[in-house]
Structure 1
Amino acid sequence: MENICLNPVGHVVSSVESTREMPAGGVPAAIEILPQYESALLRIEENSHIWVLSWFHQSERSKLVTSPGVNHDLPEYGVFALRSASRPNPIAISLAKLLRREGNRLILEKLDAVNGTPVIDIKPYFENDIIFSPKTSYIPGKNREYRQNQMLRRALAHHQEECLHLQLAVRMALVAEEVFGHLNNPDLIVSVRGSDCLADTIQGLSRARLANPPRFSYVPSTALQQTNWDLADKGTLTLTWLGQTDIMELEDEEFLNIDFEN
């Protein structure tokens, strides 16, 4: 098989110089496109999100098997079954929110590539890229704080606004995950009684559909904010908001009534 030669189309401009310093989810960054490729950006600003394909030049290339970076206590996986930066060809694919274009620069909300990372391609995020409830490996983060931050990122990507009931949904889903594991379990039934924001965020986090299989139901309410999670042979978890607003600073029992029945 012939070797492949790739030429960068640009590079990442970031405040982070080392992969060890890169926080999960990335930092505000930009992509600077080489002058000869600037015309390829025509009308890219019509897109809110883009796929960035970059070359993780600081990554190890000899590993074929490793434990997930988010939790080294988990079993090993082949690198093709992970998003690990260490792989034979360290091509990274990152979904980034495009804030604006400034000439040959794309200003991004966040990107998880260090300063100077070569960019090998850019593609727009299309509606056809969406798989609402895919089957995936369950790879929980190493601790509760990490899992909450990851869940908050997913909630914001889905709901698009960090409102009070989004925060409530994140904390409820975090409790449910600690009881039932993977929230995208096709046998986990989820119901919501409460606001549109609570229901929308819970559905986004659980990936529960109304049909095929029917996992999600919703009853609008202003008087009650409650979620119910049911898994056969495991039990039923009911979480009811007690009304506090400083949700992200409190312990679960300080703002939730937690009722679990086997």
Structure 2
Amino acid sequence: MGMELVPVGVVHSSVRSGHEMPVQGVTGEVEIYPEYVNALRSIGQNSHLILLCWMHEADRTVLTAVARKVASDLPEKGVFSLRSPPRPNPISLSVVRLLGVREERFLEVESLDLIDGTPVLDIKPYQTGWDCIFSATGHDRSEKIQKMGTEAYREGLVREAVNYHGMLCPGVAVGVRIAEAATRMLGGDLRNPALSVVPGNDPCIADALIGITGARPGDHRLLFMQGDKAPKNGCLIRKGDREVAFLLRADIPRTPEEILSCDEAVLFAADLHDTEERKLPAHPCVRYP
């Protein structure tokens, strides 16, 4: 069966090579060709868009690869289990935030992970209720996290937290630093099903930790304590028989930038101790007739 793909636009980006692309992407522009301008009607009603593009410089002969932006000695995987550009049909799927529309056909976007000149095949609105599967699971990222640099790991945590909360506020920044410390002290991927979170009374920190860990009340990983056991000015993160109690300092920096760059001890005290391992049901959901 023959197929014909016709580009509807082109990416304008400050990045000219895939090797130079930051993991979190950049701010850039998507130009839609004049003959397709009517297809953009009402596009500004959406905060986020899905871009389908053709990675024109990708190697189409590659079937297995390594996530080399993290580390070259990670296990090799099939390209269908990776998001790397080389693949038989190099179609990219990118979720970007729409910042504005210029001259009716130039879309200013952020989190754009495409190089300059990439042909655009299609644009779809991102719809949270359909496109966000918060309970989705994937491979354990522990080995990958160990090989990531501090800055790259922090950028990933910020994106996960902001995607859930909606913005980078001071509370979210503190949540990111708590997650960094929990990774170091408890080890491994914070989305591990053995890890649970007891949030404190700051809703922004709670949102950040939920977005990063994927913890939910329904899977018994997001827990709430009553009375004296509830953390008043901090939070608890548990994994197996170990628990880290985070106590926030009284006077912490006021901007996300300061929070993300300052020494950890300025933000909180962290106490690692043993606790009785919780036995959870194999499937926590209640089944009704």
TM-score computed with the length of structure 2 as normaliser: 0.83
Report the Cα offset of residue 251 of structure 1. 3.2
2:197 to 172, 190, 195: 190
In the aligned structure 2, how far is the partner of 1:173 from the partner of 1:218? Answer: 18
Report the Cα offset of residue 224 of structure 1. 4.1
Is 1:147 matched with 2:159? Answer: no
Contact 2:29 2:107 in 1 (8 A): yes
Query: Are the structure 2 counterparts of residues 110 and 189 from structure 1 closer, same or farther at C-alpha, using a change threshold of 3 Å?
Result: closer
In the aligned structure 2, how far is the partner of 1:250 from the partner of 1:104? Answer: 42
Is 1:248 matched with 2:248? Answer: no
Partner of 2:180: 174
In the aligned structure 1, how far is the partner of 2:21 from the partner of 2:8? Answer: 23
Report the Cα offset of residue 182 of structure 1. 1.8
Report the Cα offset of residue 109 of structure 1. 2.4
Matches within 5 A, 1:1-150: 2-72=1-71, 73-102=73-102, 103-126=104-127, 127-139=129-141, 140-141=144-145, 142-150=148-156
Q: Deviations over 1:185-205 (max 9, x none)?
A: 222111011311111211111
Partner of 1:207: 214
Amino acid at match of 2:139: S
Report the Cα offset of residue 215 of structure 1. 1.2
Contact 2:100 2:108 in 1 (8 A): yes
Partner of 2:280: none
* Deviation larger for 169-178 or 133-142: 133-142
Q: How many residues align?
A: 258
Contact 1:199 1:218 in 2 (8 A): no
RMSD, aligned α-carbons: 2.1
Amino acid at match of 1:231: K
Partner of 1:160: 166
Report the Cα offset of residue 218 of structure 1. 4.5
In the aligned structure 1, how far is the partner of 2:246 from the partner of 2:188? Answer: 16
Amino acid at match of 1:256: F
Report the Cα offset of residue 219 of structure 1. 6.5
Unpaired runs of 5+ residues, structure 2, are: 275-289
Contact 1:133 1:184 in 2 (8 A): no
Report the Cα offset of residue 206 of structure 1. 1.1
Report the Cα offset of residue 157 of structure 1. 1.9
Is 1:228 matched with 2:236? Answer: yes
TM-score computed with the length of structure 1 as normaliser: 0.91
In the aligned structure 2, how far is the partner of 1:196 from the partner of 1:253? Answer: 22
Partner of 1:261: 273
Contact 1:100 1:106 in 2 (8 A): yes
Partner of 2:279: none
Report the Cα offset of residue 108 of structure 1. 0.8
Contact 2:95 2:111 in 1 (8 A): no
Report the Cα offset of residue 133 of structure 1. 2.4
Report the Cα offset of residue 10 of structure 1. 0.7
